[in-house]
Amino acid sequence: MEKILSLVRRCVEDYDMIQAGDRVAVGVSGGKDSLVTLTALAKLSRFYPKPFTVEAFTLDMGAVDGGEGIDFGPVSGYCETLGVPFTLLPSEISHIIFDLRKEKNPCSMCAKMRRGALHNAIAQRGIRKIALGHHFDDAVETFFLSLFYEGRLSCFQPVTELSRTGITQIRPLLYCGEGMVRGAARRNNLPVVFNPCPADGYTKRQEVKELVAELEHRYPGLKERVFGSMQRLPLPEWGPLEHRRRPLAEEEPAESGRPERPKA
């Protein structure tokens, strides 16, 4: 976790994600990405020169077709050990999307409903900043998704200010590869919960993930070059700043070595 904590701090500093006095909500789905984000920010808040606090929010999507819901008790207990306030937000989003609307391509609507519910909940508590668990691989895959299916060079931003709601989204895990995140979750015994979504594993994102993995095997270093190009182009809000450095995103178990410095 020390390596991830170092990379999270670097990303936070490179993109000026956190200011003194911030209350940072973390959307904790129970997956490895959100739990590692929560852990890293909770640890960072203990010594970061700009004092800030962290709070966890978990949106319970509800059961599908009368099935059992997720037990978030272990997540709540873990937040207690971190000293992080935990809020569970009940909803019927799964029931609406899968049972009532029977959506064949549910991901976009699901993401919009989840985002709206989380933003409303944190805004009611006076919180204006939320940390999301998107990592290095997510960014590269999103770039290819936009290119293949929308015909444009685009990706989510490291820091996104939503003018309509006054909420700022930050993505402090962007310098960490998925393999690194998976390894950290395993070694630290994080209470990862199973994703019961009926669409899990059958999405366009999953197709692109598999394609990028194949291309990375054929052209080693492809993902880092794509990530670097997003900083250099630049895509909106991705760069360029000379002090921004490349991520250390190698897959498990290759977690040794120092991050590469930019060439002069």
pLDDT of residue 163: 84
Distance CA 120, CA 113 (A): 11
Residue 60 is predicted with a pLDDT of 83
Q: What is the mean pLDDT of residues 121-142?
A: 94
For 73-77, 149-153, 169-173, which range has the lowest pLDDT when averaged over its residues?
Answer: 149-153
Q: Is the pLDDT of residue 73 over 60?
A: yes
- Output the furthest CA–CA distance in the chain (Å, rounded): 60
Q: What is the DSSP letter of 225?
A: H
Looking at per-residue confidence, does 14 or 232 come out higher?
14
How far apart (Å, rounded) are the C-alpha atoms in residues 244 and 13? 9
- How far apart are alpha carbons 167 and 159 in whole angstroms? 11
Mean pLDDT across 157-170: 91
CA geometry: angle at 17 spanning 107 and 87, to 5°? 55
Annotation: CATH topology of 2-232: Rossmann fold (3.40.50)
Q: Tell me, what's the pLDDT at 239?
A: 63
Q: CB-based contacts of 215: which residues, under 8 Å, 6+ apart?
A: 222
Query: What are the residues facing 88 on neighbouring strands?
Result: 58
Quick: pLDDT tens for 83-113: 999 999 887 676 677 666 666 666 677 778 8
pLDDT tens for 108-127 read 777 788 888 889 899 999 99
For residues 173 and 255, the model is more confident at 173
Q: Does 258 have pLDDT greater than 50?
A: no
Nearest residue to 11 (alpha-carbon basis) of 37, 29, 39, 42: 37
Residues 6 or more apart whose Cβ sits within 8 Å of residue 235: 153, 154, 155, 157
The DSSP line for 101-134 is: S--SS-HHHHHHHHHHHHHHHHHHTT--EEE---
Closest-CA residue to 87 (of 62, 114, 55, 61): 55
Query: Residue 203: what pLDDT?
Result: 77
Read off the pLDDT of residues 23-52 as tens digits, 9 standing for 90 and up.
Answer: 999 999 889 999 999 999 999 999 999 999
pLDDT over 90 (residue 200): no
pLDDT of 201: 56
Within 10 angstroms of residue 37's Cβ, the number of other Cβ atoms is 29
**% of the chain residues with pLDDT over 90:** 56
Distance (Å, rounded) from C-alpha 172 to C-alpha 180?
A: 14
Q: What is the pLDDT of residue 52?
A: 98
Q: Is pLDDT at 192 greater than 80 in this prediction? A: yes
For residue range 227-241, what is the model confidence (pLDDT) as tens digits?
988 887 767 677 645
Where residue 254 falls among pLDDT bands split at 50, 70, 90?
Answer: very low
